[in-house]
Structure 1
Amino acid sequence: MTSTPILYWARRDFRLGDNPALAAAAASGAPVIPVFIVDEVVESHGAAPKWRLGLGAEVFGAALEGAGARLIVRRGRALDVLRALIAETGAREVHWNRLYDPASRARDEGVKAALKAEGIAARSHAAHVLFEPWTVETGTGGFYRVYTPFWKAVRGRDPGDPLPVPKLRAPGAWPASDDLASLALGAAMNRGAEVVLPHLAVGERAAQARLDAFLENGIDAYAEARDDLARNGTSQLSENLTCGEISARTCWWAGRRAMEEGRAGAETFLKELVWRDFAHHLVHHTPHIVERNWREEWEAFPWNTDASRADVVAWQRGRTGMAIVDAAMRELYTTGRMHNRARMLVASYLTKHMLTHWKIGLDWFEDCLVDWDPASNAMGWQWSAGSGPDATPYFRVFNPETQAEKFDPHGRYRRRWVAELSANPPETALAFFEAAPRSWGMSPDDAYPARPVVDAAEGRRRALAAYESRGF
């Protein structure tokens, strides 16, 4: 055993169990110093994701204290902070779990190269997805561009067993830490934080409890219930997966056991986990997906790119006059999440009915989603817009009115979130006005828009005409 400590750099892996980087550091027998850095990547996040990451770090810090360790928090450029900690502690190794989006990769590659040049062992580990992007190849050695063959390629694979919680050895002295609260990661949330907070389940224990509840009460009906807008039919694990409070591998084996037991929705749940992997597969192989059209032919499409335009502002604030779209946008602002079916509807309405660039929607989601994930967000928006891999065809324009009839036939979802639709609106609908900025000047007493900013039928006709004029 050695007294020279190892730094474990926590990023989106706020868990003790099945944490390869933490386990590897602990297995060495050396003291382990966990560190969370509010670095250049974290600082670039939107309001809700940055706030949620801070909440996750806070709970993870408490879990580490329960295991006899601490979470050292610092603010600054990642390489500068790590160098400072190495100088302070004498550490000769740094371990972290890999991420695959362009910003994280650029940061990590720079850190690894610099540390290695200085004689520091920099070791990255696989932990964020089931199967690392470069390990899944087509028969010709390329990467997958379509989900279904990707699913078929991995559905029988073994991602390995989840790792147990490691025993952590403390250093002789802990380095100084910034106070996480003083870093104000939730500052941009303003008064919305208090409204959104009750809808969250933060930390490893909460994530496991969510998975257990889903397996007990939700997985059998999952294939059908996940599309019912008024029903709590999903696992709700997305915020925990994106912060790494539970591993995809833990969820995978839980789903596999359920499938072996004959639980009806288990395979659909596994497919959704693999869909998340597929997003990271694509962002690794084609990193431009996060900022420009995946399909080059869409670069010339005449999207509206003005985010200040009145109809875009109405979309952001849930005032389009299309009730199903408005309900979804208000759910987002009130809870930090949005039903998956609703995400497709609001994205289709923005990009097809309103002919607005998907990047405007992507940026809004990045600011508002507590479960924001750079890969899933980019793939989802480009799928809806028609500009991405395995995308919905350009001619498939979701009709929000017929979608509402199919997935919210009794209007419960719409009334739950749009106060103006009810004489006595529920607390969920009223909470939106507590979360919304006062500068928006919105009140539940406002009259609901008499007509939508874009009519469903007219929007479809306009979209198809625009696509056909461009030769799609």
Structure 2
Amino acid sequence: MSKSPTLVWFRRDLRLGDNAALTAAVERGGPVIPVFIRDALVDQLGAAPKWRLGLGVEHLAKTLEAKGSRLILRSGPAREVLEELVRETGAGAVYWSRAYDPDSVDRDRRVKEAIKDLDVDAASHTGHIMFEPWTVETKQGAFYKVYTPFWKSVKDRDVPAPLPAPHELMAPSSWPESEKITDWGLAAAMRRGADVVYPYLHVGEEKAMNRMSVFVRDKIDDYAQARDRVAVDGTSGLSENLAVGEISPAQCWHAGRRAMEAGKAGAETFLKELVWREFAYHLMWHTPRLLTDNWREDWDAFPWNEDERLSEVKAWKQGRTGIRFVDAGMREMYVTGRMHNRVRMIVASYLTKHLMCHWKIGQKWFDDCLIDWDPASNAMGWQWSAGSGPDATPYFRVFNPVTQREKFDPDRSYIDRWIAEDRRNPSATALSYFDAIPESWPLSPDDAYPDPIVDVKEGRQRALEAYQNRDF
């Protein structure tokens, strides 16, 4: 008798190479039916990450078609959709790659129980991170709360070599019906911003792998220094592709290790950045409150503003604070969908310290605006900058956006790239900001650039006084 089909449920693993769930389905034998489900967790994504995920799904569908396969699209609760597909196809197994945020963990647990109740094999596989959170422990059997010991614990671990993409995928005798992704409206919330951001994207597995190859060949040697030079293209750019799984962290790790063995000076720094991402997932798994509440619970008493309607918050969101380094970063995000990591720290520090606003306001805004949005990394970054998180920058260490600009953008190239007001011949990238922002923001490049909404020194002093007088 021929083997029953295997359903492979794609989520944030939009690739064929180094996909353990897909490899297991092929090795099981029989037809493989790839599936993507638009469930509540997809629907609740912010505008930019939802749109970017949809583009990745479309690209995966085309890749599968080139191999004589298909991507079946369904919408609804994942458990119900998969149960129905099992009945329609006679599938004997359902495989997927693991997720680690609490909502996905809860969903996947219920899915696994339901599928097994149908007497069908249900199995999750690794792939979105390298080191499963429950396998990394201190000598006392606890989870790590500080990055450096975590790095030392995993840096010499064996990371299995990436799995090759399957040569072929056996098709079923008949395909189940599929919805059309164009009917899902995943780009709707992006509105006119989609046309502005799209040219900056690198969608799909092939472009992700090429991006990594170029980085390792041309940039990684100088990465330790270049990654902080905000006007220089000195980073890998792979956060976009890692976020939706168009490349795996193991593929990046092995490329970095080969570069380190070849004597490339910046390779170890790149590996440390990959492990920083792992650390964020490690903490999210063990302390899910990282996503929603102050990781350091004593910070619940800190007098942050939580009112998003404040004029200062609006100015921050619009990139109109009067602090050019901060505003340039926000505008880069609206035009490209991403923001240089050094500038993210400055932008976050300014909101949480100079403006004394809760990190949740910034986290929520980035949730909506970043095409490289990642639940663990975004939460970790905001809490680190605010001082409330694990391994956090101390609250009294307040980044001065003026001196930071002098250090990391000394010739003002980054600022000139993104700020148009008060310039005789503003750059095309700076003008693109006005095409990307919501039409409800009545802004024009002919507007005068604003005065600072908070003096840098006064804002810093106010933050320090609040910290020194804290009631915790």
Which bracket does the TM-score occupy, shorter chain normalised? over 0.9
- Structure-to-structure mapping, 1:201-220, within 5 angstroms: 201-220=202-221
Between 116-125 and 323-332, report the one with greater CA deviation: 116-125
Q: 2 CA distance for matches of 1:179 and 1:471?
A: 55
Q: Which whole-Å deviations, capped at 9, do the CAs of 1:238-261 have from their partners, x for residues lacking one?
A: 010011001100110000000001
Q: 1 CA distance for matches of 2:254 and 2:46?
A: 32
- Give the AA of the match of 1:125: H
Q: 2 CA distance for matches of 1:90 and 1:116?
A: 14
Q: Secondary structure at the match of 1:196?
A: helix
What percentage of residue pairs aligned between the two structures are identical? Answer: 62
Contact 1:320 1:326 in 2 (8 A): yes
Report how far residue 117 of structure 1 moved.
Answer: 2.5
Matching residue of 1:153: 153
Contact 1:210 1:237 in 2 (8 A): yes
Contact 2:302 2:471 in 1 (8 A): no
- Give the AA of the match of 1:74: R
Q: Which whole-Å deviations, capped at 9, do the CAs of 1:291-327 have from their partners, x for residues lacking one?
A: 1100010011111111111000100010000000000
Matching residue of 1:200: 201
Report how far residue 92 of structure 1 moved.
Answer: 2.3
Contact 2:290 2:379 in 1 (8 A): yes
Q: Which whole-Å deviations, capped at 9, do the CAs of 1:122-175 have from their partners, x for residues lacking one?
A: 100010011111111111111000000000001001110100112311111110
Q: Which whole-Å deviations, capped at 9, do the CAs of 1:437-463 have from their partners, x for residues lacking one?
A: 1110010000000x2111111111000
Matching residue of 2:279: 278
Contact 1:3 1:171 in 2 (8 A): no
Matching residue of 2:402: 401
Number of equivalenced pairs = 471
- Structure-to-structure mapping, 1:183-332, within 5 angstroms: 183-332=184-333
- Structure-to-structure mapping, 1:4-43, within 5 angstroms: 4-43=4-43
Report how far residue 113 of structure 1 moved.
Answer: 1.7
CA RMSD of aligned residues (A): 0.9
Q: 2 CA distance for matches of 1:289 and 1:303?
A: 17
Q: 2 CA distance for matches of 1:346 and 1:182?
A: 36
Q: Which whole-Å deviations, capped at 9, do the CAs of 1:34-70 have from their partners, x for residues lacking one?
A: 0001111111100000000000000011111112210
Q: 2 CA distance for matches of 1:307 and 1:120?
A: 48
Q: 2 CA distance for matches of 1:2 and 1:274?
A: 43
Report how far residue 3 of structure 1 moved.
Answer: 4.1
Matching residue of 1:122: 122
Report how far residue 118 of structure 1 moved.
Answer: 2.8
Contact 1:33 1:71 in 2 (8 A): yes
Q: 2 CA distance for matches of 1:219 and 1:423?
A: 37
Q: Secondary structure at the match of 1:342?
A: helix
- Give the AA of the match of 1:378: A
- Give the AA of the match of 1:113: E
Matching residue of 1:171: 172
Matching residue of 1:391: 392
Which runs of 5 or more residues in structure 1 are unaligned?
none
Q: Secondary structure at the match of 1:73?
A: strand
Report how far residue 421 of structure 1 moved.
Answer: 4.4
- Structure-to-structure mapping, 1:321-360, within 5 angstroms: 321-360=322-361
Contact 2:422 2:446 in 1 (8 A): no
Runs ≥4 in structure 1, deviation > 6 angstroms? none
Q: Secondary structure at the match of 1:439?
A: coil
Q: Secondary structure at the match of 1:297?
A: helix
Between 412-421 and 235-244, report the one with greater CA deviation: 412-421
- Structure-to-structure mapping, 1:42-81, within 5 angstroms: 42-81=42-81
Matching residue of 2:113: 113
Residue 159 to residue 421, structure 1, CA distance change in 2 (3 Å): farther
Between 104-113 and 373-382, report the one with greater CA deviation: 104-113
- Give the AA of the match of 1:142: A
Q: 2 CA distance for matches of 1:121 and 1:224?
A: 49
Q: 2 CA distance for matches of 1:421 and 1:18?
A: 50
- Give the AA of the match of 2:221: D
Contact 1:9 1:94 in 2 (8 A): yes
Report how far residue 225 of structure 1 moved.
Answer: 0.3
Matching residue of 2:84: 84
Q: Which whole-Å deviations, capped at 9, do the CAs of 1:64-122 have from their partners, x for residues lacking one?
A: 11122100011111111111111111112110000101121111111112222232221
- Give the AA of the match of 1:265: G
Matching residue of 1:144: 144
Report how far residue 435 of structure 1 moved.
Answer: 0.6
- Give the AA of the match of 1:407: F
Q: Secondary structure at the match of 2:96?
A: strand
Q: Secondary structure at the match of 1:221?
A: helix
Q: 1 CA distance for matches of 2:373 and 2:439?
A: 25
Q: TM-score, normalised by structure 1?
A: 0.99
Q: 2 CA distance for matches of 1:432 and 1:77?
A: 37
Q: 2 CA distance for matches of 1:471 and 1:400?
A: 28
Q: 2 CA distance for matches of 1:414 and 1:113?
A: 53
Q: Secondary structure at the match of 2:221?
A: coil
Contact 2:422 2:448 in 1 (8 A): no
- Give the AA of the match of 2:288: P
Contact 1:5 1:31 in 2 (8 A): yes
Q: Which whole-Å deviations, capped at 9, do the CAs of 1:172-214 have from their partners, x for residues lacking one?
A: 1110101111111010000000000000000000000100110
